[in-house]
Amino acid sequence: MAALTQKQLFDEIETLPLELKTKMIDKLLISISPIKKSIDELWVEEALKRKEQIDSGEVTLVDGEEVFRKIGLKFNLNFRT
């Protein structure tokens, strides 16, 4: 198989179906930032801990609009579009 130039490679990629492109993107991202199972496990543990805190009433959720309103007031910002 002959090596493709960068332009040829990109031209070929343009012709591929979306599903194959997304698989290629996944592989490329993993190749530059490999999945670290230990980090993923820590994130799952943290998410479960936070869910438990919410379910038990230990913490109270705040609506996103309210959060941005308070940030806007504190820093004199306007988030409305």
Residue, of 77 and 17, whose pLDDT is higher: 17
What are the residue boundaries of the structural domains of the chain, listed by start? 1-34, 37-75
3 state SS of 43: helix
What's the mean pLDDT when you consider all of the chain? 91
78: tokens are 């306007």
The answer on pLDDT for 77 being more than 90 is: no
Q: Which of 27, 28, 29, 46 is nearest to 38 (CA)?
A: 46
User: What does the pLDDT look like over 32-69, one tens digit per residue?
Assistant: 887 788 888 999 999 999 999 999 999 999 999 999 99
Residues 81, 75 contacting (CB under 8 angstroms): no
User: What does the pLDDT look like over 3-13, one tens digit per residue?
Assistant: 889 999 999 99
Residues 16, 9 contacting (CB under 8 angstroms): no
